[in-house]
Amino acid sequence: MSRFPEKFILGAATAAHQVEGNNIHSDYWAMEHFKHTNFNDLSLDAVDHYNRYEEDIKLLADAGLNTYRFSVEWARIEPEQGRFDRTETDHYRKVLQCCRDNGIQPIVTMMHFTSPVWLIKNGGWENKATVAAFATYCEYVAKELGDLMHYVVTINEANMGLQVAAIAERYKRQMMAKMQADKANKKAGKKSEGNLEGTAQVGMNFNKMLKNMFWQGFENKRVFGTRSPQTFVSSRTPEGDILVMKAHQAARQAMKAVKPDLQIGLSLSLHDIQPVEGGEEAAAKEWADEFTHYLPYIKNDDFFGLQNYTRSIIGADGIQPVPKGAETTQMDYEFYPRALADVIKRVSAEFNREGVTMPIIVTENGIATDDDSRRVVFIDQATKGVADCITEGLPVIGYCYWSLMDNFEWQKGFSMRFGLISVDRTTMQRTPKPSLSFLGQL
């Protein structure tokens, strides 16, 4: 059932911290081990992809996929500033070579949310020095591994910090309103409804974050030297937001200087933003915050990494709850696969207004569910939308499903089932789901 052109990039994605295990030098590892942690689980061995990557890549290839998007872990490669670990560098060379040996095109992400602890101690993603530090790391990887690389995503969901800032502020307001409603409902003998955590396209526990804020200040001070460490997914200031763009540009320049033929871009987390009556102005601002204000920094990239999971309905008072009765995923996202095509069309139009024809790779799109038949439906509908975009002449060159296997969904832990492959975390046995072969035949 061929749906895409012969050379279309079709694959699945992972992130190092979520699958490798024992990423002991990263900020996330440290935060997981806080006494007052926001994480439901410890990553520990994760799904042991660090040792089992050959098996996992072969499963991907045998299913008919031709691309594997994965990240190299900055905290492994540079565990201390200026000290690069040859053993870890060699490990990623083996992963890249394994891809090549199996006919798989690697898409390498240089930074997928996790950072070395030393970077956060130095001020993290609000410190201007991070621009040069990130460029130095990327240059090193290009020198050591660039001969086996082609597509590079510098920063995953570079807009996430700004999204988290907006979501956290909105969440606080909603929680106050919900507390008042709960009080009124309790008095009236009614049951309270609603879960407010489904608006971030990343696994975060906002309830725990608010509850743990005070005590975490002491633990942050002990580990990072500050009560308010600026990790990549911390609430970001407008200045920090632009700093991330400058880090991307510096990394792109540094890597191109070493290997000019690398195809380099970044990825953004985008929603299908749909206004309802009275929400037009708020929706326009939401889209500007999510995408258009980044255009000056990315319009000269080689491709754009588009990441989408659902839609956002915007009313006069902002983001609206998921429509009553709508199907939702384990992440509390609305099941809405058509969102992907809508976002592709809108992004293409924005680049066209800049006079740019930008190749688009869908670097993430997927669903968390224990019902793999719904995953198949989601993939079927989402990829039909991608194929329609190609038929309309839009420059979509690839689609990577999130995720290759069930893994560690950040603060949500191991309960979110995004994978095309299930993993028994006691034995680490892999079991491909029907959705893997379905995607592969496209």
The domain that contains 42 carries what CATH number?
3.20.20.80
Q: Is residue 121 part of a domain?
A: yes
Identify the domain containing residue 359 by its residue range.
9-270+296-310+335-440
Burial status of residue 346 (CB atoms within 10 A of its CB: 0-12, 13-18, 19 or more): middle
Torsion, Cα 6 8 10 13, to 10 degrees, reads: 150
Residue 430 placed within a domain: yes
Q: Rounded to an integer, what distance in angstroms lies between the CA atom of residue 16 and that of residue 21?
A: 8
DSSP-assigned beta bridge partners for residue 313: 274
pLDDT in tens, 313-348: 999 988 999 999 999 999 999 999 999 999 999 999
> How do 67-71 and 105-111 pair as beta strands?
parallel
For residue range 391-400, list pLDDT tens digits in order. 999 999 999 9
As a whole number of angstroms, the distance between CA 285 and CA 339 comes to 19
User: What is the pLDDT at residue 204?
Assistant: 64
- Find all residues with CB under 8 Å of 234, minimum gap 6, and list them: 124, 125, 161, 164, 228
Tokens of 75: 């905290």
Considering the domain boundaries, does residue 227 fall inside one?
yes
Return the axis-axis angle of helices 238-258 and 160-188, rounded to nearest 10°: 140
Q: How many domains does the chain have?
A: 1
Residue 131: name the closest of 31, 36, 243, 217 by CA: 243
- Three-state DSSP class for residue 170: helix
Asked if the structure places residue 37 within a domain, the reply is: yes
Q: Is residue 360 part of a domain?
A: yes
pLDDT tens digits for 7-35? 999 999 999 999 999 999 999 999 999 99
Residue 183 lies in a domain: yes
Q: Give CA–CA dist 309/364, Å, rounded.
A: 8
Q: Does any domain span residue 317?
A: no
Residue 196 · residue 320 · CB < 8 Å: no
30-76 pLDDT per residue, tens: 999 999 889 999 999 999 999 999 999 999 999 999 999 999 999 99
26: preceding bond cis by omega (within 30 degrees): no
State the average pLDDT over residues 147-158: 98
Please indicate, yes or no, if residue 353 is contained in any of the structural domains: yes
Q: Give residue 188's pLDDT.
A: 63
